[in-house]
Amino acid sequence: MRNRCCYGLSALLLLVTQTSLSGDAPLNPAAAKPAFAQARQLCEADHGQLWGISLCGPAMLVDPATRDVIASEKDASGVLHAADGVFAGSLPKDVPVANTSVSWSGTRWIQYLWPLPDDDALRRVLLAHESFHRVQDQLGLAAANADNPQLDTLEGRYDLQLEWRALAAALQAHDDAARRAHVADALAFRADRYRRFPSARAAEAALERNEGLAEYTGVMVGMPTASERQAMALRDLQRHVHDQSFVRSFAYATGPAYGLLLDNYRPGWHDEVRHGAYPADLLAKSLGLSLDKAPSSAKRAALAARYDGKALWAAETRRQQERDRLIAAYRSALISGHVLVLPLRHPRVQFDPRNLVPIGANGTVYPTMQASDDWGHIEVQQGCLLASDWSWLTVAAPSGEEGSHISGPGWKLELAPGWHLAKGSRAGDMVVAKSD
């Protein structure tokens, strides 16, 4: 499995990528110290040049199965104990475990899941990617929650993948004229998506200013040469094609591509992004183009033909038919059927950004999730529905209860003291409520 995501609405924990790709090596000081050394080498080599701030900082490696942790430094509250030149301990259940940045025990950490990728290039990108998340608030690039349901529609997915193909062609172009032509095509597909889905511009930019910039940072700091950076950006564009859903993962592909192109056509763009600009808009402006001018239907078809659009449309049509059946099943279980509603006030959430299923105004289904809030902790393996504004979470109605341990189809809930199950607003539904 490649991705595990973590997001806290109140604490602004960040979307993340890249869990272990392989290996069963145990987490111990001897294994952890080379990882910390490599992360330190990367951030010191950057020397604050990319963003004007050092990416170095306290780091921890966490085994997601055991929650055991080894850290590069002592935590401010002294919970961890010294162990052969590093510090060891375990994380409580309410602390997210993911590739991310997290505040715990008085320290702001770069957090990595163990084991790290065996692939050296992917490991280097991951180390630098998560280092960016630790400092992004200082850069004025705080994470923002934004769903992108348009990227789970037939038209939205079609435009996005054509955009990716055009960006890949631009990165591989052998002369400036060809590069500019492919960039123009990529921006035309994006403009078409903005016309079809007016809310897409701000929503997509929110994730691109978060995970897109983090992945760009991973590529720039993790890869030592221009050719290696280009190769990794192309690799990002290719590997995300196979994600089940693009709504939370697309920016890992677009971020490095737009970043490298901006480096070429708009030096100094980093400061503009820090002051609120969007990468795609900056690239369009640099080349005298506009994302406010969508191509005509005939023009779009002609552009798509350059990137094998006919075969892509056929594949996406088949995918949409399968998706409609999946959505119908989720609607039956999580909307029409009896449910348990969990209000969200201070959520800390982990999920896989590649498999989400938007279902309109009702919100988005997360097939797997771990979530904590004032009411306790829930682990979901067969789907939950998260409101678009992150105000509540819904699972199928409970089927078992033993004290504070509640269970239902594909989920387990551990209630915190002072919380109980109460009748919901609809007959047969239940809600988690605070006891009097």
Task: Concatenate the DSSP letters of all residues of 333-397 into one string.
Answer: IIIIS-EEEEE-SS-EEEE-TTS-EE-GGG-EEESSEEEEETTEEEEESS-EEE-TTSSEEEEEP
For residues 367-383, give the mean pLDDT: 95
Residues 6+ apart with CB under 8 A from 257: 164, 167, 168, 170, 171, 233, 236, 237
pLDDT score recorded for residue 12: 31
pLDDT score recorded for residue 24: 67
Task: Report d(CA 42, CA 35) in Å as an integer.
Answer: 11
Would you say residue 23 has pLDDT above 90? no
Q: What is the pLDDT of residues 324-366, one digit of tens each?
A: 999 999 999 999 999 999 999 999 898 988 899 999 899 999 9
* Lookup result for tokens 């435009």: 159
Dump the DSSP string for 279-347: HHHHHHHHTT--TT-PPPHHHHHHHHHTTTHHHHHHHHHHHHHHHHHHHHHHHIIIIIS-EEEEE-SS-
Q: What is the pLDDT of residues 294-322, one digit of tens each?
A: 999 999 999 999 999 999 999 999 999 99
Q: First CA to last CA across the chain, in angstroms?
A: 43
Q: What is the pLDDT of residues 239-294, one digit of tens each?
A: 999 999 999 999 999 999 999 999 999 999 999 999 999 999 999 999 999 999 99
Per the structure block, which two tokens stand in for 417?
Answer: 């003291």
Task: Report d(CA 278, CA 9) in Å as an integer.
Answer: 22
Identify the helix (H) or strand (E) that includes residue 256. helix 250-265
pLDDT score recorded for residue 346: 92
Task: Report d(CA 226, CA 235) in Å as an integer.
Answer: 14
pLDDT score recorded for residue 10: 33
For residues 159-180, give the mean pLDDT: 98
pLDDT score recorded for residue 353: 85
- The DSSP 8-state label assigned to residue 111 in this structure reads E
Would you say residue 14 has pLDDT above 50? no
Predicted confidence band of residue 436 (pLDDT cuts 50, 70, 90): confident
